[in-house]
Structure 1
């Protein structure tokens, strides 16, 4: 396994102690952006005033709130809003004088009240334990019922059992220290795997490692497999390409868990080889027939073709499986495991050409925006299907990776390397046909017409490593152009000069860590490692500046976009991956003057 623990930037040795790393992560556990939770648990503890405070995240003038005196408990459920998953509306711990004790410290394993007069920890994935002799605990559930328990020398703690139906059952506990020790041990074991990186990046890396551990859930549809979900706040499932990006970060500290994410993503291929969009607690999302009823109704009202029950549309995610597999195997080789996955990846690649080349021209299309991962990108504002340059690039990359993997692990599962390379060459030729030299852009097509949107999908052909030099030069110039993509915090998902640009709206302008990472990979593949390093530095600087691995970022302010969720899985994982790469012995930090300055 590659180990940068002894070769990080100055001062990194101070962070070898897992307890120290847990403490660094704890600085970010504000119970607003980051809840108190436990690996495998569906229970989340926030400040009771989280909703009000969350609205201020990203505001430059926001001030630190007063310490919390009341908490709120939620469950984490697939396709349900957090507010619909309330278990306890208000939980208050009071001192002997009856005054509410403030939260004074949060660590991964404990919430402390009143300087340690009382504590809250986990007593198992679905059980909270609150201790503090002389204190009292009271909680109010959504129907208004209130319960109060006094903590005495005979019964110094109370356990709250949270049911899958959001019920709460309580019992006295005489051994609260056991719960505290067990929960601390669980987190210490997790932080013992945390990658050690450059000292200026270590605190954020520790928090990102906490995010990955906190986002572990069990999915009943697949037994006891550990899925690292995008977020316990709204994204409780294993999305296919999230699994790929998350595995790329996990590989540096827990390669077994990284492999497990890929196994989950590969576990339910269709008979034709198509991989599902999502694996979740109730099954899979592989076509429009699998959408939750509320989603179908909303899409039907909007006139979307995907809502037609007579014409279901396949739903998947971009073909980056072989890329992710190769990344995971770089850190810890697992030949037998690799061979077991390769047939699924090869069949998925074949499905794109056989099942998603909807106009029969040799270049597959996205049948619906969901399959692109860029749901609301302006390239999908017109008719469907859409021929997009990012998909062509991913397919070239995947065939090239499959060829390399076949040569390494055998052709029985991965297929003939020459056939993969031949198909990659044909796809690249079609992809180059989407280049428009007059505008210096790769442009998507829909219903036979060119889509004029200047979007980030046009940079993904860099991943092929096979573009003519004038094309590479034009793309690099676009990345540096302050009127288009060279903003203070880059790379926006739509050019700032495009009429559809919005600094706050998902895939219509904000910066995403995953698309930045793919452009970094593309710059390396296209012979520009220094530009790749520059963008990697800017990307980790963005996450640090914004205070955490949010879902997406405002490219103007460098802060969390208002509607983005927090503690986001792939942002955390890819921050770690970039930080590890930037901490290699041959890589020095960029001079400060090259980094964006507010």
Structure 2
């Protein structure tokens, strides 16, 4: 193990609270939390209360909540007098009890190992008792002597088998080696970003799952808490962070996203352990119920609606190839991306005007944005911008790797020019913003999608100036923590509601990319600095943040994959010379 890996593991451990960051292992589906579910305010404490004495264990499964995936409702280590030993340290490879008297670690992806140390100086040179309770209410207890342990094997049905084990020290060392090998890959960044970068790198490792239906492919999921699948654009953003330390794993995320195109070229929204989600017919019941509660007209469409994600595939591919070139691999992926780009124009130009639309909010990734409050289909400025960017990237990649895979670069640039013209028709000069259209009717929402046309690098000067002015306006987007996903001056703005005001790391990154593409490098770097400062201030790479407080929004998931990956990517960029 290298000194750097040990230091990064130590830095990451400062955030491992067993609440927002559970104890887990790369490739494992097991998650260990503290049993009281409180929010930690310091190492080992819940709102100033004593540290945890009981843990709970869950599995991580597609479209199942933690309560549906209970393995152990309580796990406690007791001393010889029967008193529970507190959790005194959480490390990437172990949870320690009683100052090191006992520890919990992994014995491979599907088993937990609990062992008792021979530590006479701590007063624990006698047997301890390990107790656990399963969801059926049954209690189990094992007496474990110094130097011995117990192994808990978790079956696919979440059943638990236990056996005495003399290999705890070996299991502990093996788990430590897995994590130290992972931290060895963590990129070096500047001093003020090192601790959060180490934690974000832990998040990426923690969110690795095996996908048995894909031959054991390694998917880095958005979160093992509630998002267990490879969403298409999550894969793109996650690959951007992974590329700096594990380019092969970055490429693997793109391979998974590109692995199941439809016959017409459409890429699926999600690849998961049971198949793919590529149509409204594939939606799980929980999603349909949520749409019904929101009053959506598309909860039960009369005909299947294709579900995909925004066309950022070529952009992500080009980013990954910047770090480590892979020509043969790139050519194989480009054929899929080219067909996907063609699909947007052939199958998602729903009104036949040459400008593709979103047929379903899910295909935008911004499901709850107010631009989807009206009827569908939605003509959106972000989609137009992504399509222009993708054609321009395909043209550049075709010149680099050959037109056989990526297509004629001239044709891509000509289509990009036509799409840009259609995109500029969405500019409302009086309002000073790009606006969406719902079934052809103007949508007045002042939303972050209106900044994405900067990604094209081809906006007229007055349009670009108006967008820059909007970003600097404290009444609209220059909030204490920017950039809100809906203007603070918009009646639909909410600081807490998903995609209606909270700050997302990925949209900040895309706005910064747009500023840079439009020649405003100074503002791009300033936004990138504010974005990493937000994650540090907020305490971690959450799913989204309140733009007024800079803290995690109440319903946001923690230890979120793309927030972690993009923090790493930004930290690397900001640690280099301007």
Pairing 1:128–2:128 present? no
Following TM superposition, by how much is the alpha carbon of 1:152 offset from its aligned partner in structure 2, in angstroms? 1.9
Per the alignment, residue 259 of structure 1 pairs with 251
1:464 to 432, 456, 461: 456
* Cα deviation 1:361-397 (Å, max 9, x = unaligned): 0000000100000000000001001000000000000
Tell me if structure 1 keeps the 8 A contact 2:104–2:113: yes
C-alpha contact (below 8 Å) 1:306/1:312 kept by paired residues: no
Give secondary structure in 2 for the equivalent of 1:269.
coil
Aligned to 2:78: 94
- What is the CA-CA distance between 1:420 and the residue it aligns to? 0.1
Residue matched to 1:594: none
In 2, Cα distance between equivalents of 1:262 and 1:29: 29
Q: Distance in 1 between matches of 2:386 and 2:4?
A: 40
Instruction: Find the counterpart in structure 1 of residue 39 from structure 2.
Output: 53
Contact 1:317 1:371 survives alignment (8 Å):
yes
Q: CA deviation at 1:53?
A: 2.7
Q: 1:535 maps to which residue? A: 527
Shift of 1:16: 6.0
Q: Which residue number in structure 2 is paired with residue 137 of structure 1?
A: 130
Contact 1:396/1:427, CA 8 A, preserved across alignment: yes
Asked whether the equivalents of residues 60 and 66 of structure 2 are also in contact (C-alpha less than 8 Å), the reply is: yes
Tell me the residue number matched to 1:8. none
Paired position in structure 2 for 1:289: 281
What is the Cα deviation at residue 132 of structure 1? 0.8
1:581 to 559, 573, 578: 573
| Paired position in structure 2 for 1:230 | 222
**How big is the shift at 1:64?**
4.4
Which structure 2 segments of 5+ residues have no match?
118-126
SS of aligned partner of 2:490: coil
Give the corresponding residue for 1:40. 27
The answer to whether the Cα contact below 8 Å between 2:385 and 2:452 also exists between their aligned partners in 1 is: yes
Cα distance change of structure 1 residues 64 and 279 upon mapping to structure 2, 3 Å threshold: farther
Please state how far the C-alpha of 1:81 moved relative to its aligned partner.
1.1
Question: Given that residues 39 and 47 in structure 2 are in contact (C-alpha distance below 8 angstroms), is that contact kept between their aligned partners in structure 1?
Answer: no
Match of 1:26 in 2: 13
Shift of 1:310: 4.0
Find the aligned partners of 2:413 and 2:323 in 1 and give their Cα distance: 25
Using the alignment, how far apart are the partners of 1:300 and 1:482 within structure 2?
Answer: 36
State the Cα distance separating 1:38 from its structure 2 match: 0.2
The CA deviation at 1:296 is 2.8
Residue in structure 2 matching 1:165, options 154, 157, 176: 157
Structure 1 distance, partners of 2:380, 2:338, is 21
Cα-to-partner distance string for 1:51-78 (whole Å, 9 max, x where unaligned): x438x99xxxx94442100001000011
Inter-partner Cα distance in structure 2 for 1:210 and 1:132: 26
Between 294-303 and 552-561, the greater mean CA deviation after superposition: 294-303
Aligned match of 2:178: 186
Report the Cα distance in structure 2 between the residues aligned to 1:16 and 1:207, rounded to whole angstroms. Answer: 17
Mapped contact 1:512–1:553 kept (Cα < 8 A): yes
Tell me the distance in 2 between the aligned counterparts of 1:395 and 1:228. Answer: 26
SS of residue matched to 1:306: coil
Pairs within 5 Å for 1:479-494:
479-494=471-486
Match of 1:152 among 134, 145, 154: 145
Gaps of 5+ in 1: 1-14, 588-598
Q: Give TM-score, length-normalised by structure 2.
A: 0.96
2:413 matched to which residue of 1?
421
In structure 1, C-alpha distance between the alignment counterparts of 2:420 and 2:263, rounded to whole Å: 28
Deviation at 1:448, TM superposition (A): 1.6
Using a 3 Å threshold, how does the CA distance of structure 1 residues 450 and 412 change in structure 2: closer, same or farther?
same
Q: Does residue 385 in structure 1 map to residue 371 in structure 2?
A: no
- 2:331 is paired with a residue whose SS is helix
- Would you identify which runs of 4 or more consecutive aligned residues in structure 1 move more than 3 Å? 62-65, 297-310
Q: CA deviation at 1:303?
A: 5.2
| Matching residue of 1:10 | none
Shift of 1:219: 1.2
The 1:65/1:369 distance shift into structure 2, 3 A limit, reads farther
Cα distance in 1, alignment partners of residues 240 and 516 from structure 2: 17
Q: Residues of 1 paired with 2:374 and 2:515: CA distance?
A: 30
1:428: how far off? Answer: 0.2
Pair 1:357 & 2:341 matched = no
Q: 2:49 & 2:451 partners in 1: Cα distance?
A: 41
Pick from 321, 328, 336: which aligns with 1:329?
321
1:107 to 91, 95, 108: 91
Q: CA RMSD in A?
A: 1.4
Equivalent residue for 1:394, pick from 382, 386, 395: 386
Question: In structure 2, do the counterparts of structure 1 residues 239 and 17 end up closer, same or farther at CA, with 3 Å as the change threshold?
Answer: same
Conserved 8 A contact 1:139-1:148: yes
The answer on whether the counterparts of 1:16 and 1:196 sit within 8 Å (CA) in structure 2 is: no
Q: After superposition, give the CA deviation of every residue in 1:180-218 in whole Å (9 maximum; x if it has no partner).
A: 110000001000000110000000000000000000001
* Separation of aligned partners in 1, 2:531 and 2:180: 28
- Among residues 60, 63, 69, which one is paired with 1:79 in the alignment? 63
Counterpart among 171, 192, 198 of residue 190 in structure 2: 198
Deviations 1:436-462 (A, max 9, x none): 111100000012210000000000000
Match of 2:513 in 1: 521
- 1:554 corresponds, among 546, 558, 566, to 546
- The equivalent residue for 2:121 is none
Contact 1:220 / 1:282 at 8 angstroms: preserved in 2? no
- Equivalent of 2:364 in 365, 368, 372: 372
Q: Which structure is higher in RCO with an 8 Å CA cutoff and minimum separation 6?
A: 1
Deviation of residue 304 (structure 1)? 3.6
Task: Determine the structure 1 residue equivalent to 2:332.
Answer: 340
- Determine the C-alpha separation between the residues in 1 that align with 2:327 and 2:396: 13
Aligned counterpart for 2:559 among listed residues 553, 558, 567:
567
> Could you say which residue in structure 2 is the equivalent of 1:270?
262
In structure 2, C-alpha distance between the alignment counterparts of 1:494 and 1:476, rounded to whole Å:
16
Q: Distance between the aligned counterparts of 2:290 and 2:420, measured in 1?
A: 38
User: Map of 1:469-508 to 2, 5 A cutoff?
Assistant: 469-508=461-500
- Please say if 1:70 is aligned against 2:63: no
Q: Is the 8 A contact 2:379 2:440 kept in 1?
A: no
**Aligned-partner SS, 1:29:** coil
For each residue in 1:225-253, what CA deviation from the matched residue of structure 2 results, as whole angstroms up to 9, or x when unmatched? Answer: 00000000000000000000000110000
